[in-house]
Structure 1
Amino acid sequence: MKLFGLKNCDTCRKALKVLPEISFVDVRVDGVPLEVLNRALGQFGDRLLNIRSTTWRGLTGEEREKPPIELLQTHPALMKRPLIECNGELYLGWGKDTQSALGVS
């Protein structure tokens, strides 16, 4: 099980606290493998982009028009967090649905 996120993200820290056996991948340092990004985009579409982030607000209009895959590779902090990979399945965010799917109450 892997959690893709940022070490200073409160939501990621909450998930890490409850899932101690999970392997953490800091997307700013290590990035997200292209295969995982493609799967996540296929599954979540535009919801994978965090358009309320300071990173997004710092982009120019021209940059915002780039394909999501390109944006996420260039600016990994644009990804909504956490992205959790468990047994071949992907989960986005740390809502009740994700917690329930991972057997966390």
Structure 2
Amino acid sequence: MCIPLEFLFDGLIDCMDASDEQEIFTTLIHLYKCPSKSAWECDEHFCDKNEFSCGDGQCIHWSNLLNHQESCKNYRDIAYRCELIPRMVTMANGICFYG
């Protein structure tokens, strides 16, 4: 699936594999594969630019996510928030650890 170019390197992960935020070399390869110059190849894009993707089709508006007003049913947002706090680390088992 392809997403608009404005979603590339905007600091927000729009593709389930985070490919829209990867290195520029990888980007150029994927851009070549897209049928239109205004799009980016990416699997599983479900949400709008102003929404966080929970990875299962659920989308949460960024303001609700950052204000803790709404969360993913699968808890993906918790792992995301864990990575935002410098002293917090998501361990291999998915648990957020204060280190």
The TM-score by the shorter chain falls in which range? under 0.3
TM-score, scaled relative to structure 1: 0.26
TM-score, scaled relative to structure 2: 0.26
Higher normalized contact order (CA 8 Å, seq sep 6+, divided by chain length): 1
